[in-house]
Amino acid sequence: MKCQVCSQETLLPFRCPFCGGQFCSTHRLPENHSCPQIASARTQRQEQVMTPQSYDSYQYSYNLGQPKRQKHVYFSHKEIKHISVAAALVIGIGFSIGLYGNILGGFTPQWTWEVMAIFAVIMTASFLAHEIGHKIMGQKNGLWAEFRLTTWGSVLTLISVFLPFKMISPGAMMLAGQPTGDEIVKISIAGPAINLIFSTTLLGFALALPSSLFVSMLFFAAYINAFMAVFNLIPFGILDGYKIFSFNKKLWAIAFVPSVILAIFTYLHIP
């Protein structure tokens, strides 16, 4: 997101509560971005000065029903509803991949309904674990972090259930606060790291078990998780990789290179 005054790229922009604009830390105050509602802002500040809880500058607060730096992961009722819908969409994608793989001849031998069901569960767990990884790190660092569906992401995910081409992006973890560069890196790396753990674990089971239809599915699921890690680590746009690369290029390389190697290895071992 770019600041509406200086056009500086801002990972977590400040939203002016008076005009609704998005600004960087330098231009977040109404006086610094020529806020059209500056009169209302000044009136509010004068009212605050006359109360015991007055401050020397504007204070933006969030009433989110949770304290900072939670010891336990906190889920709001609204977030649980959004996660449930996202889970249903990803389960649909999981079954769709199995069906299209059978129809187009990509899976030999063809997957049974039981294998499709297990794969759908693994897919859903992989997606949700990725997002919850961001959430845990966000809350641990004192940020508001909740999963929200996005309109176009949900629509495109639903449409792709019925198409050979798949898109899994029903929503994302929304964050609010003022994290440092190190905290942004920790939050961003959490998701891809979990996919790497999933991929490695699934690959380990696939290599340890005797050859079977179930093992073929495990190889494919391991590849999907490795691919998810690689895709999210691409240093571009709103992806996790861009945030990590911006603050810690060495850590980005340490995560990206093994992800690519794992994706190639698992792909070559898909029966």
Q: For 63-75, what is each residue's pLDDT tens digit?
A: 344 444 555 788 9
Give pLDDT tens digits for 132-169.
Answer: 999 999 999 989 999 999 999 999 999 999 999 999 99
pLDDT surpassing 70 at residue 200 = yes
Judge if the upstream peptide bond of residue 109 is cis by omega within 30 degrees of 0: yes
Above 50 in pLDDT, residue 54? no
Q: Which of 106-110, 167-171, 207-211, 213-217 is predicted least confidently?
A: 106-110
Token pair 């340490």 is at which residue? 254
Q: Name residues whose C-beta falls within 8 Å of residue 21's C-beta, 6 or more positions apart in sequence.
A: 4, 15, 33, 35
Residue 25: what residue type?
Answer: S
The arrangement of secondary structure in 1-61, i.e. its CATH architecture, is Irregular (4.10)
Give the Cα separation of 200 and 204 in Å (integer): 6
Q: Which of 39-53, 181-195, 196-210, 240-254 has the lowest mean pLDDT?
A: 39-53
The CATH 4.10.1110.10 portion of the chain extends over 1-61
- The burial of 104, by beta-carbon neighbours within 10 Å (0-12 exposed, 13-18 middle, 19 or more buried), is given as exposed
pLDDT at 50: 42
CB 100, CB 161: distance < 8 Å = no
